[in-house]
Structure 1
């Protein structure tokens, strides 16, 4: 992923300060207002909650009336603290994470993502937000129309001793259980000669928000595309795995994205990207369909917890 971005405006999301001696009671009473603001603006930031561990995030999620979401497929290893609380995706701290929507490669996905800041990053570390309702206006019309009409495809190959295993990704003990999960998820699969599981799925590129009806860009066609790898890393992986890279993406008809296509998508992400500054005790409540999230490189020893949720 690219390591530099132009200066970003601060996110104009509604901010609330938790009030009183019973902040979770206040949060419960403010839940309807926070939900309305989330739907209008894509995210809400609450300051001053006692979020010092998984239990605090569970209390916040419950106060907001949000149910826990259980993913059907993992992208990479995350620490699981139980009760629907996990760590952010594993990613080197000195690398930027391009904005993405959680599990947008799956048929089932969280509608809300809650991120609790237990310890903020040092220096200029920021979380990036992108309004996916505005992506299409910044894309070439032919590209937006193509993704809208065709959707996109994702290829994933589980190579031994590289990344997580298919057992970990799909939380299954054996191939029989795997077959059931893949059928339910609409994922095609095959076994390569060396015993590597190769999967392919077709997904829509845009979604109509289930509450507002707004059209939202909802995919990882850029984030998981091999063209966005560091050139040296891409060459090494291509030499090692051939065409069966750990992940890659295509247009809905299986056509490869060009460098110009990827640059256009990245430009659109940049055009809608803003940033959030963190304080200890902050809770970011983001609509996972409206808002993509990423981050700048982080310094220090930041600590975050994530709750994937459903309205």
Structure 2
């Protein structure tokens, strides 16, 4: 097998993978621990072929840095599924959805179809679910004219920045997620649960400890609690891992938040979060959490053909607003269950 995909004198050049180091680490942005930027040491290196024989090295880097940016490999949209399989594993279906996405085939999706002028806060994919992906892979097919980066942040460092009292409170009770689905309220429940059968939705929720209530107008309200901290299944490191900020109503843009609060009673908001015991999260705690995320945020502009691989527990991710055309794809792989990573014992 070759990792070189360009013709040389009319023939494909075959190089022994074991004896040639085709990918070189270029370090991380100044003063930051992630992402590790990796570039090919030769022209036209086939990233999928290289990753297929260097999985151990990829995992080692990923568990150390949390996010890897493969640059100058010129990965095309039609090749991205193969790259995801080589770098992360078989792509997963997107279930219990919270963001509009378009599937382009084989469980490869647009990263989000959220409006271009609205930022997407840092979060860890599907941390509100019973199971969530271990790894995410993003590919830039078209870079935005301005903005549009996929920022990342080290969740180990976020946790280290948090006040121990805040951490203990969340570790003790977790995060309660309340969502409403209906006409004009977030995503409709058939899209979220990928079925229009109420019995199937009820069975899905019951199996996962999600309380549900069918509303008189045909809408749906769900409420459930998940932990706020996790222990990485490989490294054993503790991480801040939740959607407490992401789904809180105060995280909406001010003009959107004001309109939503005028239109809906608190219990009918499209989404909101609380302490796991139902208490409101105090404004100063919300500000403290946002400061921790903001302090660790790293945003590198996309270049066409870039691929970024993210360990979902070690790195949060988001999206900057942008102008112009932008097309970033995502594949999610590996399944982790909360039962296997929840924090036990004393929390500092």
- Shorter-chain TM-score above 0.5: yes
Q: 1:280 aligns with which of 297, 304, 313?
A: 304
Cα distance between partner residues in 2 of 1:147 and 1:183 = 24
Q: Which residue of 1 aligns with 2:190?
A: 167
2:115 counterpart of 1:62 = no
Q: Which runs of 5+ in 2 are unaligned?
A: 1-29, 336-348
Q: Which residue of 2 aligns with 1:17?
A: 39
SS of alignment partner, residue 133 of structure 2: coil
Please identify, of 199-208 and 236-245, the stretch whose mean Cα deviation from structure 2 is larger: 236-245
Please identify, of 140-149 and 35-44, the stretch whose mean Cα deviation from structure 2 is larger: 140-149
Please identify, of 158-167 and 284-293, the stretch whose mean Cα deviation from structure 2 is larger: 158-167
CA offsets 1:264-310 (integer angstroms, 9 cap, x no match): 00001012111223211110000011100113222221211100111
Task: Give the TM-score normalised by structure 2.
Answer: 0.82
- The higher-RCO structure (CA 8 Å, 6+ apart) is 1
SS of alignment partner, residue 329 of structure 2: strand
Cα distance between partner residues in 1 of 2:251 and 2:134 = 26
Q: Which residue of 1 aligns with 2:152?
A: 129
2:289 counterpart of 1:265 = yes
Q: Which residue of 2 aligns with 1:5?
A: none
Distance 1:156 1:208, change over 3 A: same
Q: Which residue of 2 aligns with 1:196?
A: 219
Q: How does 1:144-223 map to 2 (within 5 A)?
A: 144-223=167-246
Q: What is the root-mean-square deviation of aligned Cα atoms in Å?
A: 1.9
2:295 counterpart of 1:305 = no
Cα distance between partner residues in 2 of 1:300 and 1:32 = 38
CA offsets 1:33-56 (integer angstroms, 9 cap, x no match): 111101100011112334322x31
Cα distance between partner residues in 2 of 1:229 and 1:74 = 18
Q: Is the 8 A contact 1:158 1:196 kept in 2?
A: yes
Please identify, of 62-71 and 219-228, the stretch whose mean Cα deviation from structure 2 is larger: 62-71
Q: Is the 8 A contact 2:34 2:66 kept in 1?
A: no
CA offsets 1:85-110 (integer angstroms, 9 cap, x no match): 00112222222222111111101111
Instruction: Report deviation, 1:10.
Output: 6.5
Q: Which residue of 2 aligns with 1:39?
A: 63
How many equivalent pairs are there? 303
SS of alignment partner, residue 179 of structure 1: helix
Q: 2:270 aligns with which of 246, 253, 264?
A: 246
